Amino acid sequence: MKKILAAVFLLFIFSSVSYASVFMDLGGSYVMAGDAKNQYGATGTLGFSIHKDASFIAKSTYSTVTENQGDPDEVKYTHFTNLFGFEYTPYIPVLERYRLSWKSMALFGISQTEIDDSSTGDSSSEMGPAFAILTGIKFDATQTLAPFINIGYHYSMYRKDLKDLSIQGFQAEIGIRFYFTGNKSYSDRY
């Protein structure tokens, strides 16, 4: 009986994966991090569709900026987020006609902010919970490549070294999505 259940389970998993879309986003980001200054960085996302309009995603963003670089009063700010959540991409016929898709994301996870002040020798670093909401548009250039632009808001919560700082703000991303499996047919909602 266990072998039959295992075989049915594996058949279900492999058949559902064959229709699922697995993708990766790579891009650049501009992060307004409040008291940790405005920063430039990189973003990456791994995703797996759980429905034709919804995907589970894991998203990481790393950004940094250095003020007064090379001077004795140099201050380096670094902000990193590792978030998990869902992406919703509704079917909108007007956009699909032009191979565009509108997407929205709700994400929760952790962030880490570090501030190194060379003039005082102080270094503050803390990890804490964070959330972000983003929305954007992507263009399905081919079945495997889709450039995108996202804008959104993020908020990090700290309780120790950085508890008096406001680490939050808007962020913008630009990049490209790579699809590995579950490519859409050119004639089906493309």
Give the domain CATH number at 143.
2.40.160.20
Asked if residue 10 is part of any domain, the answer here is no
Asked if residue 6 is part of any domain, the answer here is no
Q: Say what the pLDDT of residue 19 is.
A: 53
164-169 average pLDDT score: 94
137-150 average pLDDT score: 95
Asked if residue 13 is part of any domain, the answer here is no
Asked if residue 2 is part of any domain, the answer here is no
Sign of torsion over alpha carbons 16, 135, 186, 179: negative
Asked if residue 166 is part of any domain, the answer here is yes
Asked if residue 107 is part of any domain, the answer here is yes
Reported confidence tier of residue 7, pLDDT bands at 50, 70, 90: low
Higher pLDDT, 96 or 119: 96
Beta-strand (E) ranges in the chain?
22-32, 38-51, 54-67, 75-88, 100-117, 122-139, 145-156, 167-181
Q: How many domains in the chain? A: 1
Asked if residue 68 is part of any domain, the answer here is yes
Domain around 174: 21-181
What is the C-alpha separation between 135 and 146, in angstroms, rounded?
15
Asked if residue 83 is part of any domain, the answer here is yes
What tokens were used for 116?
């190194």
Q: Say what the pLDDT of residue 181 is.
A: 80
User: For the whole model, what pTM was predicted?
Assistant: 0.82
Q: Say what the pLDDT of residue 190 is.
A: 43
Q: Say what the pLDDT of residue 183 is.
A: 55
What tokens were used for 49?
């569709």
Q: Say what the pLDDT of residue 6 is.
A: 56
Reported confidence tier of residue 184, pLDDT bands at 50, 70, 90: low
